[in-house]
Amino acid sequence: MASLSVKIGALELRNPVMTASGTFGYGLEFQDFVDLSRLGGIVVKGTTLHPREGNPYPRMAETASGMLNCVGLQNKGVDYFCKDIYPKVKDLPTNVIVNVSGSTIDDYVETARRIGELESIPAIELNISCPNVRQGGMAFGVTCEGASSVVRAVRKAYPKTLIVKLSPNVTDIAEIARAVEAEGADSVSLINTLMGMAIDAEKRKRILSIGTGGLSGPAVKPVALRMVYQVARAVKIPVIGLGGIMTATDAIEFLLAGATAIEVGTANFIDPSVTMKVVEGIEAYLERHGFQSVSDIIGALEE
């Protein structure tokens, strides 16, 4: 059987299939549907230094082949995570990665530092790309200076594997990727959601409570693929690809575009067991094409 394992920084994944932050809870919500020991890793909900209520309801609008959300990083804060969630997830049979967000650089640093003290959390994904919060979030992720400054500060405080999650709401994502690589990021993941809007024509109103939201699902896949392709050619660190992955074939396309691993997000809402099918499908593909290892197909596009 082909080898599926990949490495992201110091992190060993048994296979390249992970789950995307904000779409898989803390993993516990999906235990009835998924054998977590068959996942490369799970990226848990966005965690901030202080508790956040998130944005008011309505936070979701369905769109053609996707959805918009403006959840706005609702979470109970890093202390709650350490005290109440960590004991429940620390022995899960997969890599548990915490998605870290903040409004200020100090917030990011302090949150990362505290997560860094948790023995069973081998990596963080730094979210500098949330489009649904007023302060911080995406503001850091849309300029090279902003991205560099957060990553530089967090890098000093966080010794383990540091993944930086990039925003697609930029002119040149490769430039941002190079900037965070230069500050010592071990990996970049992309894409976060694309900023969008939904309008109810009958009511002549914007549907989401804050007016705009982040688009996810198959609708964003072509954009995500293009960006992963560009970034994989621009940096040396491993790239984690995501955005609209619904099937194993989608995942393989991201690997071919240059991603070392992938994350499955919105698809979990449609089929809570989809990640298992993605793992099996990648296995079957490698077998069918006679590849020994998943690394044989990473960035392996024919000209």
Partner 1 sequence: MKKQIMDLRVTLSERVGAQCTLLKAKPVEGHLPECKPGQFAQLRVDDSGTFLRRPISIHDVEGDEISFLVQEVGKGTHWLCSLKEGDILNVVLPLGNGFTIKTQGTPLLIGGGVGVAPLLFLGKRLKEQGVKPTFLLGARTKAQLVRLDAFREVGEVLITTEDGSEGERGFVTQHSQLSMFNGRQCSIVYTCGPMPMMKAVAKMAREKGIECEASLENRMACGVGACLCCVEELADGHNHCVCTDGPVFSTAELKIDN
**In the numeric block, which tokens belong to residue 145?**
């200076």
Helix (H, G, I), strand (E, B) or coil at 175: helix
Partner that binds at residue 272, options partner 1, ligand FMN, none, CB closer than 5 to 8 Å by kind: partner 1
d(CA 294, CA 296): 5
- Beta-strand relationship, 6-8 and 11-13: antiparallel
241 lies in the site for ligand FMN, by CB under 6 A: no
Q: How far is the CB of 54 from partner 1 (least distance, A)?
A: 6
Beta-bridged to residue 75, according to DSSP, are 52
Closer to partner 1 at the Cβ: 12 or 62? 62
Closer to ligand FMN at the Cβ: 266 or 295? 266
Near ligand FMN by CB under 6 A: residue from 27, 41, 243, 281: 243
Which of these ranges, 26-34, 108-116, 150-158, 222-230, lies near partner 1 under the rule CB under 8 A?
26-34
Size of the site for ligand FMN (CB under 6 A): 26
- DSSP letter assigned to residue 154: H
Within 255-294, which residues bind partner 1 (CB under 8 A)?
A: 266, 268-273
Which residue shows structure tokens 């309801």? 57
Which of these ranges, 76-84, 87-95, 195-203, 212-220, lies near ligand FMN under the rule CB under 6 A?
212-220
Q: Is 130 a catalytic residue?
A: yes
d(CA 151, CA 128): 9
Q: Among residues 58, 16, 4, which one has the least CA distance to residue 187?
A: 16
Within 24-83, which residues bind ligand FMN (CB under 6 A)?
A: 45-46, 69, 71, 73
Amino acid residing at 118: L
Please state the three-class secondary structure of 271-283 as a single string.
CCCHHHHHHHHHH
Near partner 1 by CB under 8 A: residue from 4, 14, 24, 237: 24
Amino acid residing at 24: F
Residue 202: CB atoms within 10 A of its CB come to 6
Q: How far is the CB of 134 from ligand FMN (least distance, A)?
A: 15
Q: Is the peptide bond before 222 cis (omega within 30 degrees of 0)?
A: no
Helix (H, G, I), strand (E, B) or coil at 13: strand
55: left (phi over 0), alpha (psi -120 to 50) or beta: beta
Partner that binds at residue 243, options ligand FMN, partner 1, none, CB closer than 5 to 8 Å by kind: ligand FMN
Closer to ligand FMN at the Cβ: 73 or 179? 73
Residue 221: CB atoms within 10 A of its CB come to 21
Near ligand FMN by CB under 6 A: residue from 22, 131, 238, 281: 22
Chain CA centroid to CA 243, Å: 9
Partner that binds at residue 273, options ligand FMN, partner 1, none, CB closer than 5 to 8 Å by kind: partner 1
144 lies in the site for partner 1, by CB under 8 A: no
Size of the site for partner 1 (CB under 8 A): 33
Which of these ranges, 27-35, 86-94, 158-166, 197-205, lies near partner 1 under the rule CB under 8 A?
27-35
Per annotation, catalytic residue among 70, 82, 130, 144 = 130
Residues in contact with ligand FMN by the rule CB under 6 A: 20-23, 45-46, 69, 71, 73, 99, 127, 130, 165, 192-193, 216-217, 220, 242-245, 264-267
Catalytic residue positions, numbered = 130
